[in-house]
Structure 1
Amino acid sequence: MKKRGKILSFMILLLIFTAFTGCKAKTIESGQITETAERTISTKELSEKLGSPEFVVVDVRSEAQYNGWKLEGEVRGGHIRGAVDFPLSWTNDLKKEDLKDLLESKGITADKTVVLYDTLGDKSPAMAEILKGLGYENILVYEAGMMEWAGNDTLPMDKLANYEKLVYPEWINALIKGENPDTYPGKGYKIFEVSWGEGKEYKEGHIPGAVHLDTNELEEEPLWNRVSDKDIEKMLLRNGITYDTTVVLYGSDTTAAARAASIMMYAGVEDVRILNGGFGAWTEAGLDIETEVQSPVPVEAFGIAVPAHPEYIIDTKEAKEILADENAELASVRSWEEYIGETSGYTYIKPKGRIAGATWAHAGSDPYHMEDYRNVNNTMRNYHEIAKNWEDWDITSDKKVAFFCGTGWRASEAFFDAYLMGWDKIAVYDGGWYEWSMDEANPVETGEPK
């Protein structure tokens, strides 16, 4: 009886202890009390803490869900307003020190209370354990997650304005299987692997049914500006594209896909989409690839006059008009070293410097990298972070903004990102630094701007 009484007393004490530890669930293992769950936060508490500098809310779902896709039964797509994205999948391949650096670069620091959420409660606990291993102590899990938050339309959410134009691998796979994935208008589709040349990587393996699109069909020497409007239309017809075809673009280099996207949008293709993360995202998803070379089936008519959107690509005359306009920005999508004139960035471009009066829209470490626009897995960076970089240089959505780079590829990626954000006064300055610098009469600056 005494032994039974001791056990009963212990269980009562355990229940009392559990009640007073709030959200930490406990179990008994080998006679010891062990934590099995994280401290949690309610919907009401979280809504009251939004915007607090002492809290950082972290969305650990996929980039697609953060941007706006509804993949797990959410009533509304997108993310909790103010939340930072840090998908659990990012933790798979990063070293401990690199992981902590990345967390801190996104404002997820150990001195703040970190609130983690997902949709079904299957990812946040794992992320909490990872953060603990990195020395984080103040961690809360929002167990109700997006199911409850999105289900209450009084709670604030944000999403990428045109998120549907940035597709994820499984969306394309559903398209290939003949299904009708969300937002697909059902008027026929084409998938293109975009790269320069004859398609060496394409022949080694590509998304089933995809056709190789050589960027030489889109632009030409000596300045690598877009081909004529007539030749753009011929390219579209040759590749079986009409104005209402859903066109999905991808490659190992997203800038090539973006270059094709900007030219097709200029021509008038209404539904142009890019695979977020390119071919790497497809292979990472473990989806089928093929090596059979696919040939396009031509069409006879595009359906509308080309270009339907001439405002999307401008030339030097319009670039000068933007420089003279107080409510417009000519935005340089080049590395800092290119912007201040330490390097031209290209072997075939000799002059160094920047267009006088151009602002800096960030880019990457050199002409062939876009770290300022990409996540660690090569997907599009958090659009709030891209917009903040632009805002720091007076590039804002209320202005007319023309992006340029050396010859158009990097500028096209910035243009497409702005389009995804819903910016409606945007363009690519096609000639870029290459064409501008060829004319000695055009004003040039070097050094850090004053």
Structure 2
Amino acid sequence: MDEDIVVSVDWLAAHGDEVRVVDVRDAWEFDGIGHVPGAVNVPFDRFRSEAGDEGMLPGAERWTELMESAGVGTDDRLVAYDDEHGVFAARFLVTAMLYGHRGLHLLDGDYSAWNRTHETTTAAADVTPATYEVREPTSSPLVDFETVRDALGTEAVIVDTREAWEYEEGHLPGAVQLDWRELVDAETRGLKPRAELESLLADRGISPDRRIVLYCNTARRISHTFVVLRYLGYDDVDFYEGSLTEWKERGGPLETVDEGEGE
């Protein structure tokens, strides 16, 4: 993922014929509410698994089937969007990255932002089945339980991207809280200006010169934060896909805001 991973609706309007647009909303939204012209639909629940390889990834075979049936080729440049500020689309992009796809972009501001100023359609997508090949990623940000456990108490910044009340009820020892939605502008539905993002992150000690370890509950919310950090040029970002679900199952230590000590 490069720093140009986040693209505007105007950019997409100008480059739509150069990319494959992927809408990750439910099929009823794609068909009934409308979608970006030329987009194909790959609903969020279809590329996610609780029992796939690498934790919650769908598995290489399932991913290949999804991409081929959606008309996505191995070397297609992809732009993904949803209607939830990009959090589901970001999960799609991280999944694609982990299966070796290159040329990945998040639509800044989601479907609602596109709908405000550009044409939409409810016409069925014209999909030609494609050939898709899963490849090894150039590098993988995935880290496991042991790696995260070993990072506790080090110079690494452990970042909890859940809501404040979730953090208060139980979080990894020493973790800082950053609700992923703090990075989003409620009016534009896209990311806040770069300077504001950098200031917000710096206030939490989340700086580009430090190792960052992200977690939430099930790896959806950290996907958005991961994309934002890569967009801002952060290189050392770990993605704990098992997140708090696995952490609790494995008996990892937790702190609460009130107690401030392991449970």
Please indicate the TM-score interval, normalised by the length of the shorter structure.
Answer: 0.7 to 0.9
Q: How does 1:118-267 map to 2 (within 5 A)?
A: 162=3, 164-176=4-16, 178=17, 188-195=18-25, 197=26, 199-204=27-32, 205-221=34-50, 225-253=56-84, 254-267=86-99
Contact 1:330 1:358 in 2 (8 A): yes
Shift of 1:255: 0.4
Shift of 1:263: 1.1
Contact 2:42 2:66 in 1 (8 A): no
What's the counterpart of residue 406 of structure 1?
Answer: 217
Shift of 1:300: 2.6
Q: Please say which structure displays the higher CA radius of gyration.
A: 1
For 1:277 and 1:292, how far apart are their aligned partners in 2?
Answer: 22
What's the counterpart of residue 390 of structure 1?
Answer: 201
What's the counterpart of residue 340 of structure 1?
Answer: 168
- Please give the TM-score of this superposition, normalised by the length of structure 1: 0.52
Amino acid corresponding to residue 226 of structure 2 in structure 1: F
Q: How does 1:317-336 map to 2 (within 5 A)?
A: 317-323=146-152, 326-336=154-164
Contact 1:402 1:426 in 2 (8 A): yes
- Please give the TM-score of this superposition, normalised by the length of structure 2: 0.86
Shift of 1:222: 6.5
Q: How does 1:352-431 map to 2 (within 5 A)?
A: 353-363=170-180, 370=181, 372-375=182-185, 376-431=187-242
Q: Cα deviations across residues 368-413 of structure 1 (Å, max 9, x unaligned)?
A: xx2x111122110123323333323322212221211121221111
Q: Percent identity?
A: 21
For 2:124 and 2:223, how far apart are their aligned partners in 1?
Answer: 27
Structure 1 unaligned segments of length 5 or more: list them. 1-160, 179-187, 342-352, 364-369
For 2:140 and 2:35, how far apart are their aligned partners in 1?
Answer: 33
The verdict on how the C-alpha distance between 1:427 and 1:234 changes in structure 2, with shifts beyond 3 A counting, is: farther
Amino acid corresponding to residue 432 of structure 1 in structure 2: S
Q: Cα deviations across residues 234-269 of structure 1 (Å, max 9, x unaligned)?
A: 433333334431101111111001111111122222
Q: How does 1:9-88 map to 2 (within 5 A)?
A: none
For 1:227 and 1:312, how far apart are their aligned partners in 2?
Answer: 17
The verdict on how the C-alpha distance between 1:389 and 1:174 changes in structure 2, with shifts beyond 3 A counting, is: closer
What's the counterpart of residue 136 of structure 2?
Answer: 307
Shift of 1:434: 1.8
Higher strand proportion (structure 1 or 2): 1
For 1:171 and 1:395, how far apart are their aligned partners in 2?
Answer: 29
For 1:300 and 1:426, how far apart are their aligned partners in 2?
Answer: 31
The verdict on how the C-alpha distance between 1:318 and 1:292 changes in structure 2, with shifts beyond 3 A counting, is: farther
The verdict on how the C-alpha distance between 1:229 and 1:359 changes in structure 2, with shifts beyond 3 A counting, is: farther
What's the counterpart of residue 442 of structure 1?
Answer: 252
The verdict on how the C-alpha distance between 1:311 and 1:246 changes in structure 2, with shifts beyond 3 A counting, is: same
Structure 2 unaligned segments of length 5 or more: list them. none
For 1:191 and 1:259, how far apart are their aligned partners in 2?
Answer: 15
SS at match of 1:444: coil
The verdict on how the C-alpha distance between 1:407 and 1:268 changes in structure 2, with shifts beyond 3 A counting, is: same
Contact 2:5 2:227 in 1 (8 A): no
Contact 1:362 1:389 in 2 (8 A): no
Q: Cα deviations across residues 114-171 of structure 1 (Å, max 9, x unaligned)?
A: xxxxxxxxxxxxxxxxxxxxxxxxxxxxxxxxxxxxxxxxxxxxxxx82x32222222
For 2:152 and 2:24, how far apart are their aligned partners in 1?
Answer: 32
Instruction: Say which structure, 1 or 2, has more relative contact order (CA 8 Å, 6+ apart).
Output: 2
For 1:276 and 1:262, how far apart are their aligned partners in 2?
Answer: 16
